[in-house]
Every structure is written in structure tokens, then in C-alpha cells.
């Protein structure tokens, strides 16, 4: 009986850990998706000649992130 209770407890702990991990993964994935979306907007703005400060304001990206997006665009153009 004690062994069954221990097994059941371990099973519940594993299941909860799996659920927690899944929730964390979804949260991280959503956050990454939002950043990727903002980077795509920044790329469009760069292609349209918008100034860096305006891109920072509209996307919330850092100057470094925008410069990296600009490098990606340049690499695609070559």
C-alpha cells in the first residue's frame, strides 16, 4: 500500500513537471514570436528608409537588434 502511494505521488509529480514545462515552453515561444514579428516590422521600415529612432519607437527594439536586422537584410541582398 505504501509503495502504491509512493508510485502515485511520483507519477503526479512527473505529470505536474511535464505540464509546467509545457506551459513554460509555450510562454517562451509566444515571446519569441512577438520579437520576431517586431524584427520583421523593423526590416520593412529599414527597407522604406525610416530613421533608426522611429524604428526604435515603433517596434520597441534596441538599436543593436535593429542593426542586426539591417545586417540580415544586407546579407540577403548580396
- Whether 70 is covered by a domain: the verdict is yes
Looking at per-residue pLDDT, the higher value among 63 and 16 belongs to 63
Put residue 49 in one of left, alpha, beta given phi > 0 → left and psi -120 to 50 → alpha: left
- Whether 19 is covered by a domain: the verdict is no
- Whether 17 is covered by a domain: the verdict is no
- Whether 6 is covered by a domain: the verdict is no
- Whether 5 is covered by a domain: the verdict is no
Question: Which distant-in-sequence residues (6+ apart) come within 8 Å of 59 by Cβ?
Answer: 38, 39, 41, 42, 45, 66
Residue 46 near residue 22 (C-beta atoms within 8 A): no
Q: What is the pLDDT of residue 21?
A: 82
Dihedral angle of Cα 68, 72, 74, 75, to the nearest 10 degrees: 130
- Whether 56 is covered by a domain: the verdict is yes
pLDDT in tens, 19-54: 888 888 888 888 888 999 999 999 999 999 999 999
Total structural domains within the chain? 1
Q: C-alpha cell of 41?
A: 516590422
Amino acid at each position: 500500500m505504501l509503495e502504491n502511494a509512493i508510485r502515485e505521488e511520483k507519477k503526479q509529480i512527473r505529470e505536474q513537471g511535464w505540464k509546467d514545462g509545457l506551459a513554460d515552453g509555450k510562454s517562451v515561444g509566444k515571446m519569441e514570436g512577438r520579437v520576431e514579428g517586431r524584427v520583421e516590422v523593423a526590416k520593412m521600415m529599414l527597407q522604406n528608409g525610416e530613421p533608426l529612432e522611429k524604428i526604435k519607437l515603433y517596434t520597441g527594439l534596441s538599436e543593436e537588434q535593429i542593426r542586426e536586422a539591417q545586417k540580415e537584410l544586407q546579407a540577403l541582398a548580396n
